[in-house]
Amino acid sequence: MQCPHFDAGRCHSCTLLATPYPTQVDEKVAHVRALLADDRVDWLPAVTGPESGFRNKAKMVVSGTVEEPVLGILGSAAGPFAGQGIDLTDCGLYPPALQESFPVLAALITRARLQPYDATSPSRGARRRETPRESAWRGELKHVLVTLSPDGELMVRLVLRSQEPVARLRKHLPWLLEELPQVAVVSVNVQPAHAAVLEGDLEVVLTERQALPMRVGADGITLHLRPQSFFQTNTAVATALYAQARAWVDEVAPASLWDLYCGVGGFALHCAAPGRAVTGIEISAEAVASAGATRDGLAALPADAVVAGRDAAWWADAVADVRFAAGDATESVLGSVPGSPRDGAAPELVVVNPPRRGIGADLSRRLEESAVGHVLYSSCNAVTLAEDLARMPSLRPTRARLLDMFPQTSHYEVLVLLERTTLTA
């Protein structure tokens, strides 16, 4: 992939851009295999997708002025573009449908008089950390977040310092929907702190629709993504990830499964089957609501519907014993989250898909001490994966597969199936 921003030194987010793509994948495979360091693991060939145009989500820092907003990033503090707004609306990682939305969103900023937030100027006060009131002079609009569904619909989120511009945005919403009819959901996220935090807790949805349908695969499950819910940034590779997980889970054929860090239910719902009890636990209440909506939709499919190769009757049986609860993954295993399993019986299989920090010492220890027969671990950070595996010596990796979710960078996803070799007391 050729990138003028990389060549000019304006953006180095794609750290491996100068490395041929096959070499990138080979080096990632070598990296994760060295970290797991177990010759008994059956490694499947790496899954790859498009080298460019694969991102379904754009996270754009807003700089510039009301009349001429800049959507992209701020130049690195150590380089010649320090503090400058760098326009990345033509970034090669974004598909055309995302790129084409940016000029309209820039025009919305001007029409609604959304002053870009000045994140780089020194504080005007003596405090080391500004209060929201002290930072009011900096402006309002911090980020524009745009998510693209496989069917071409968009979710637009505007991260603001306060709710002050909400009325103006409501006024101009009809214009936006006319100019970009593919927009399904528009929301405002309020992040008042002058800090390097992408978004805040408060979300105000401005459209009638609350969620973006994200279809997984040509005829697959349609997950429902609410504004604060997480979804993998590479839809094509995420489809392969869920398919591989389902295949391994079906081979194990557990009667009971827990999906910890379940998000919008991607693993839980793809691994559902008739006669299988599935419980998904997720810290985000919005994501749990999204997962529940997808489950309910699968339970009530039209009689002639076929989803992921299965008919409506099969899905009604498959999701009959699927439930979701909001709570902490570790606490749910300990039985202290309402709605999580509390009878002390361990499931036959546990799926974990944690953030980059991994599942940590407490949950690793709890799984090691349990009677869980298999763990399916999906990791976006093989370093913390290796640390977690070292804490669970009774659960041995038997199969693994790298999925290159993030081409042009050193990051990747790896899916590992663990099997208990020694029953704990």
**Active site positions, annotated:** 380
Query: Residue 42: which H helix or E strand, with range?
Result: strand 42-43
Do 356 and 380 touch, CB atoms closer than 8 A? yes
Distance CA 264, CA 226 (A): 9
Using only C-alpha atoms, the chain has a radius of gyration, in whole angstroms, of: 23
- Please name which of 109, 239, 236 lies closest in space to residue 179, comparing C-alpha atoms: 109
- CB neighbours of 116 closer than 8 A, spacing ≥ 6? 62, 63, 64, 65, 66, 69, 70, 85, 109, 139, 140, 141
Distance CA 16, CA 190 (A): 34
Provide the token pair at 317.
């049986």
- CB neighbours of 2 closer than 8 A, spacing ≥ 6? 92
- Please name which of 141, 146, 140 lies closest in space to residue 89, comparing C-alpha atoms: 146
Q: What angle do CA 238, 240, 244 make, to 5 degrees?
A: 120
Alpha helices by DSSP H, listed for 75-142, are 96-99, 102-111
- CB neighbours of 120 closer than 8 A, spacing ≥ 6? 74, 83
- Please name which of 49, 399, 367, 354 lies closest in space to residue 247, comparing C-alpha atoms: 399
Task: Give the three-class secondary structure for 181.
Answer: coil
Do 14 and 3 touch, CB atoms closer than 8 A? yes
Q: What angle do CA 340, 343, 344 make, to 5 degrees?
A: 100
Distance CA 207, CA 181 (A): 12
Q: Which amino acid is at 119?
A: A
The sign of the CA dihedral 36, 40, 44, 45 is: positive
Indicate the burial class of 144 (C-beta count within 10 angstroms; 0-12, 13-18, 19 or more): buried
